[in-house]
A and B are shown apart, each in its own frame.
Chain A
């Protein structure tokens, strides 16, 4: 499957990936409205970690054997057997956060539902990759992760 791979040597800590992820997962899909007007505030599914000296963007690895799927107590978290994308079905998630407690990458955020990267399903390229100004994020065909 295709995954987002981060290249820390190229990361500028600008956090535009977060801005555009939030926008892509907003109601309005408008960068200004998404950040200033919407309630609930849309959540970025990618997080830049580190500082101006060294930083890297981290999002879901869509693992071959996802701990979050294994631990999900309702069956809301699923890995699509065809695409390999791991997504949370909000209609079935009860926000217990067991997934957050077992994800070794720390990429699931808590809220009313578990919030995580869905690789911008339906788009050719995830918003974070498309809007990274320095090619620190690339979208490439890879094998598996953990």
Chain B
């Protein structure tokens, strides 16, 4: 199990940031991703592996019209 934005989310072997965003359908482009408080750049989404127990934050910067 991992935390995504403070909520439990089932972990799977081989999970990366890119796969997590796909699973959560987080498609919005203005996001900040942090894994265990470490900022992950967009270029690293595919290569950054998420491990069981990690704390992931996906902060969407959308504040409406």
Is A bound to B? no
> Interface on A for B, CB 8 Å cutoff?
none
> Interface on B for A, CB 8 Å cutoff?
none
